[in-house]
Amino acid sequence: MFSRARVLLPIFFFGIYGIYYYFSHREAVPLTGRKHMVDLSPDQEAALGLSSYRQILARERVVPSGEVVDTVRDIGRRIAEVSEAPAFRWEFNVIASRQANAFCLPGGKVAVYTGILPVTQNRDGLAIVMGHEIAHAIARHGAERMAQQKLMRIGEMATRVAIGDMDYNTQRGVLAAFGLGAQYGVLLPFSRDHESEADYMGLIFAARACFDPQEAPKLWVRMGQVTGKGPAEFTSTHPSHSTRIRQFAEWMPEALKIRQERCAAR
C-alpha cells in the first residue's frame, strides 16, 4: 500500500499543479480565439526574438536592397497593417540561400530565404507564406511551445520520483514510454495544430491585405512537387500537404468573402 502511494503521489501532485499552471497562464489567440497557455510576457518573448534574429542575420547573407527586398517589405507592411498585432517592431529582410523557407520571430522579425521564391512564384504566393509566418508570431506559438515543454519536464521529474524504487530496466522502460507519449500524444499534435492555425490566420491576413487567397492551395501543390510526400503525418511537426490543401478549401469561402468586402473598390 505504501509503495503504491509513493508511486502515485508525485503524479497526483504534478497533475494538480499542471492543471493550476495551465489555467493560470491562459490567454486567447487573436482571430481564432483559441485558449492556450503562455507564461512569458510579450516583452520577454520579443527580446528573445530580437536576440535570435540578430544572430541569424549575422551569419547569413542578407540581401541589402533590390526588387526582391522591396517586394518582401511591401507585402510584409501590408499584412502587418491588417494583422491586428500588438506593438511589434516589424523588420523584413531577405536572405540569399537555397533554402525554401521563411520565418517570423517574436516581435515581428521576418526573414524570407530566396530559395522559396521559385515555389511562391508570385506576390500572392509569397503573401500566403509571409502571412503564415507572421501568424505564428501573433499567435505566440513559440511561447506556447516553451510552456508546454516546461510542463513536460516537470512531468518527467514527477515520474522519475515516482519510479525511484524500481529497478533500472523498469525505470528506463517507463521513462521511454513517457517520452514517446509526450512526443506523439502532446508535442507533435500541438505542433501540427499550430501549423494549421497559422495557415488559417495567414490566409485571412492575406485576404484582408487584398492578396488572392486562392493562391494558397496552389502553393502547397507546388511545395509538394519540390519536397515530395514527406513522412507520415502523425510523426511530423507539420500537417501533410494534402491536409493543408483540404483545409484551405474549407476556409476559402470565408477568405474570398473578406477579400471581396475589403478590396472590391481597389
pLDDT tens series, the chain, 266 aa = 445 555 556 666 676 766 777 777 789 999 999 998 888 899 999 999 999 999 999 999 999 999 999 999 999 999 999 997 767 999 999 999 999 999 999 999 999 999 999 999 999 999 999 999 999 999 999 888 888 777 777 666 656 655 556 665 665 655 455 444 444 344 444 468 889 999 999 999 999 999 999 999 999 899 888 776 554 433 355 678 889 999 999 999 999 999 999 897 66
160-195: string of b/e by CB count within 10 Å (b at 16+)?
A: eebbeeeeeeeeeeeeeebeeebeeeebbebbbebb
Strands (E), the chain: 26-28, 35-37, 62-63, 91-95, 102-105, 109-113
- In sequence order, the 6+-apart residues with CB closer than 8 A to the CB of 52 are 105, 109
Task: Kindly give the pairing relationship between strand 91-95 and strand 109-113.
Answer: parallel
Q: How many CB atoms lie within 10 A of CB 261?
A: 10
Rounded-to-integer distance, Cα 107 and Cα 117, Å: 24
R_g over Cα of the chain: 21
pLDDT computed for residue 264 by the predictor: 77
Check if the beta carbon of residue 110 is closer than 8 Å to that of residue 102: yes
Boundaries of every domain in the chain = 2-263
Rounded-to-integer distance, Cα 266 and Cα 162, Å: 64
Nearest 5°: the CA angle 16, 19, 22 is: 145
* Residues catalogued as catalytic: 133
Rounded-to-integer distance, Cα 162 and Cα 183, Å: 20
pTM of the complete model: 0.80
Number of H helices, E strands in the chain: 10, 6
